[in-house]
Amino acid sequence: MVLLIIAGLFALIFGKIGITKEFHLVGKKARIYGVLLMVLAVPYSYVITKVLVYLLPASLLFSSYSKPIIDLILGLAIVIGLAIPFKEKKRKIE
């Protein structure tokens, strides 16, 4: 949840965010993406904890080592996954 809020604030304040080396959002799209990340942070934390209880074994879920790693992986997946619809399509020049 913290990762989503930090990424959202960065995109909202600076108006640019780099997802990968070749994939950057700039301007209005970056700010909309930042607001979206911040709005989805709270529902994400609630839904993910409910879903993970059913998907993962209890030994893995309640381990003090695996919980931050699982949160980080899922947070990164959401940050990257939500950025895909904002990517600009490359136009062919003929």
**Residues 38-48 pLDDT 10s:** 888 888 777 77
Quote the CA–CA distance of 89 and 81 in Å, as a whole number: 16
Query: Residue 92 falls within a domain, yes or no?
Result: no
Comparison of pLDDT for 41 and 68, the residue scoring more: 41
Residue 49 domain boundaries = 2-86
Query: Residue 91 falls within a domain, yes or no?
Result: no
Provide the H-helix boundaries in 25-65.
28-55, 58-61
**Predicted TM-score (pTM) of this structure:** 0.73
Query: Residue 10 falls within a domain, yes or no?
Result: yes
Query: Residue 13 falls within a domain, yes or no?
Result: yes
Query: Residue 17 falls within a domain, yes or no?
Result: yes
Number of domains in the chain: 1
Query: Residue 22 falls within a domain, yes or no?
Result: yes
Query: Residue 64 falls within a domain, yes or no?
Result: yes
